[in-house]
Amino acid sequence: MISGPYWARPLVLSGPSGSGKSTLLRRLFDDHPARFAFSVSHTTRAPRPGEVNGVQYHFVSREDFVSLLNQGGFVEHAEFSGNLYGTSKQAIDTIVESGKRCILDIEVQGVRQVKNTNLNPIYCFIAPPSLSTLRDRLIGRGTETTAAVEKRLKTALLEIDYAKIPGAHDHIIINDDLNRAYELFQSVAFGNPISSDKLPLDSLESEAS
Ligand SMILES: Nc1ncnc2c1ncn2[C@@H]1O[C@H](COP(=O)(O)OP(=O)(O)OP(=O)(O)O)[C@@H](O)[C@H]1O
C-alpha cells in the first residue's frame, strides 16, 4: 500500500542508540528518495556553521519555543544540554500534505509524549540482537567514549523495558542481519504486513546483570 490513510500516518522509529536506526533509514531514503521525509525539528540551540534555518532545524528563541509549546504546537519535546528540541505538528503536517510519508526518529520519552497526542502514527521499535552486540556496534562506530557506551547500554535496558509492554509498538524488528532487518523495515515503511520479531528480552536482561 503506498497511499491512503496508512500512508498519511507518520512512522515513529525508536530503539536503543546503536541498534541501527540511522543505518536503516539511510538505506530507505537512498532507495526511495521521493517517498519519505523527516520532519524538521525546532531547537533553541544556535545554528552551527553551515546550518540553514528550516533545513536542519527551525532555529527559534526560547521564548518562541515556549510560546508554541504552550499553544500545544509540539507532539514531543525534550531538553538536552540546556537547549530545547521538539517536533511540531506543523512540521509533520507539511510532509503529510506533500504526499510523502513522515518519519520520526525519536527516543523513548518522545514516544511516550506522542502517545498522548492525536497523531496516530505507526510505532516501530528497532532492537539489537543482544546487549553484547549493541556494545560492540557502539564501540565499532567509534563515536562514543567507554563511559558513554555504558550509559547508552543502561538506557537501552529502559527502552527495552518499555518495548516489553504489550502494544507499546506496532512492530518490533531485531537488527541482526542488516539485509533481513532492512527488508522488514521497508515493508513497515510501505505499510505491508510483517510478523514482528520476538524480543529476546530475558536474555538481554540476564546479560546486563
Ligand atoms: N545489522 C547490522 N550488523 C552489523 N552492524 C550494524 C548493523 N546495523 C547497524 N550496524 C552498525 O552499528 C552501528 C550503529 O548503527 P546506527 O548508527 O545506525 O545506530 P542508531 O540506532 O542510529 O544510533 P543513534 O540512536 O545513536 O543514532 C553503526 O556503526 C552501523 O554501521
Q: How far apart are CA 74 and CA 84, in angstroms?
A: 12
- Cell numbers 536503516 label which residue? 24
Q: Is 141 a catalytic residue?
A: yes
Instruction: Tell me, yes or no, whether 196 and 122 share the same domain.
Output: yes
- The neighbouring-strand residues paired with 41 are 57
30 and 47, same domain (yes or no): no
pTM: predicted TM-score of the whole model, two decimal places = 0.90
- Could you tell me if 19 and 117 lie in one domain? yes
ipTM, two decimals: 0.97
129: amino acid identity, one letter: P
What CATH number did the domain enclosing 167 receive?
3.40.50.300
pLDDT, position 139: 94
**pLDDT (0 to 100) of residue 80:** 84
- Point out the ligand 1 atom lying closest to the alpha carbon of residue 181: 1
Do residues 71 and 171 share a domain?
no
pLDDT at residue 164, as a whole number: 87
pLDDT digits (tens, 9 = 90+) for 113-123: 999 999 999 99
Task: Kindly state whether residues 180 and 126 are assigned to the same domain.
Answer: yes
Alpha carbon distance 45, 27 (integer Å): 29
**Residue finishing a domain among 58, 84, 99:** 99
CA 150 vs. chain centroid, Å, equals 21
Instruction: Assign residue 61 the CATH number of its domain.
Output: 3.30.63.10
Nearest CA to ligand 1 atom 29: 141
For residue 203, is pLDDT > 80?
no
From 80, 99, 118, give the residue that closes a domain.
99
Q: Residue 22: CB within 6 Å of ligand 1?
A: yes
Biggest CA pair distance of the chain: 48
How many Å apart are CA 130 and CA 206, to the nearest integer? 10
Shared-domain flag, residues 24 and 121: yes
Same-domain pairing of 116 and 157:
yes
Residue 1, pLDDT above cutoff 70: no
The answer to whether the CB of 142 falls within 8 A of the CB of 136 is no
Q: Is the pLDDT of residue 68 over 90?
A: yes
Is there a single domain that holds both residue 6 and residue 44? no
User: Domain containing 58: what range?
Assistant: 39-99
The one catalytic residue in 62, 112, 141, 180 is 141
pLDDT of residue 71: 96
Residue 208 has pLDDT above 60, yes or no: no
Q: Which pLDDT does position 124 carry in this prediction?
A: 96
In this structure, the answer to whether residues 189 and 165 fall within a common structural domain is: yes
